[in-house]
Amino acid sequence: MTGSIGIGVMASGRGSNFRSLAEHCALESFPAEVKLLVVDNDEAGALKIAEDLNIPSVVADCGNKRGSMTAESSERISALFNDEGVDLVCLAGFMRILKGSLMEDYSGRIMNIHPALLPSFKGLNAQKQALEYGVRFSGCTVHFVDKGIDTGPIILQKVVPVYQDDSEDSLSSRILAEEHRAYPEAVRLFAQSRLKISGRRVLIENE
Ligand code: GRF
């Protein structure tokens, strides 16, 4: 894949990573364009950001079961992304586990961002987990999505220090600043066809 790729972003909440991706995509030199935002609830802050930035968005009914999505919604979202010319799906605070058509159709082309240095502190409240464990460093991880939760091959990680007087909020905002750098960087590498998955490892060409 050369030139500009299309990305589809999936979010459930605030949407700061969506904003960061969209703002990078708006730069002429950035090799990707946000084609569509999909949220699973109409209260997601990401919706307002999409409206402000003139990015098409869809509120998808993913079913009532917390954390998971129905097979129908997966099929529908995959078809929407396909119709919009989405090459890469970016999960940005999407609070459901993907399955079905979306996982199959976009295999190897779905990324997620997690606010910890995986494989430590998977799942929810990663920053709180890191604080409670007492680590001296934490950070964020951009990884490809596989069938597990936060288990896919790691693309990039950014490290931040954990200070003695940190609260969950202060640590989260230090990590978030790095998330906003890491995600666009990973998307750029993907768009430049520089990421090669080799088993658990992601090799970056010409690094
Ligand atoms: C981020 O911390 C991200 O790492 C996690 O969910 C949070 C989403 O934040 N997966 P935002 O909605 O992008 O502001």
139-176 pLDDT per residue, tens: 999 999 999 999 999 999 999 999 999 999 999 999 99
CA–centroid distance, residue 55 to ligand 1 (Å): 19
CB 93 less than 6 A from any atom of ligand 1: yes
Write down the pTM of the prediction: 0.97
Taking CA atoms only, the protein residue closest to ligand 1 atom 7 is 93
CB 191 less than 6 A from any atom of ligand 1: no
DSSP-derived letter for residue 9 is E
CA distance 98 to 91: 10
Share of the chain above pLDDT 90, in %: 98
Check if the beta carbon of residue 6 is closer than 8 Å to that of residue 37: no
Quote the pLDDT of residue 143.
Answer: 98
pLDDT exceeds cutoff 50 at 117: yes
| Residue 134 DSSP SS3 | coil
Q: Which of 143, 150, 179 best tests ligand 1's pocket when mutated (most atoms within 8 Å of CB)?
A: 179
CB 179 less than 6 A from any atom of ligand 1: yes
Quote the pLDDT of residue 70.
Answer: 96
What does the mean pLDDT of the chain come to?
A: 97
pLDDT exceeds cutoff 70 at 68: yes
CB 127 less than 6 A from any atom of ligand 1: no
pLDDT exceeds cutoff 50 at 76: yes
Nearest one of 88, 196, 95 to 150, comparing CA atoms: 95
Q: In which region does residue 85 sit, left (phi positive, over 0), alpha (psi from -120 to 50) or beta (all else)?
A: left
Q: Which helix (H) or strand (E) holds 198?
A: strand 195-198
Q: What is the mean pLDDT of residues 13-24?
A: 98
Q: How far is CA 180 from CA 26, 112, 158, 173, in A?
A: 15, 13, 10, 11
pLDDT exceeds cutoff 60 at 126: yes
pLDDT exceeds cutoff 90 at 86: yes
CB 139 less than 6 A from any atom of ligand 1: no
| Residue 33 DSSP SS3 | strand
CA–centroid distance, residue 93 to ligand 1 (Å): 4
Strands 137-144 and 57-59 come out as unpaired
Strands 88-91 and 110-114 come out as parallel
Which ligand 1 atom is at minimum distance from the Cα of 45? Answer: 12
Quote the pLDDT of residue 1.
Answer: 43
Taking CA atoms only, the protein residue closest to ligand 1 atom 6 is 93
Q: What is the mean pLDDT of residues 117-134?
A: 98
| Chain centroid offset of residue 152 CA | 12
Taken as a whole, the chain contains a residue count of 207
Check if the beta carbon of residue 171 is closer than 8 Å to that of residue 135: no
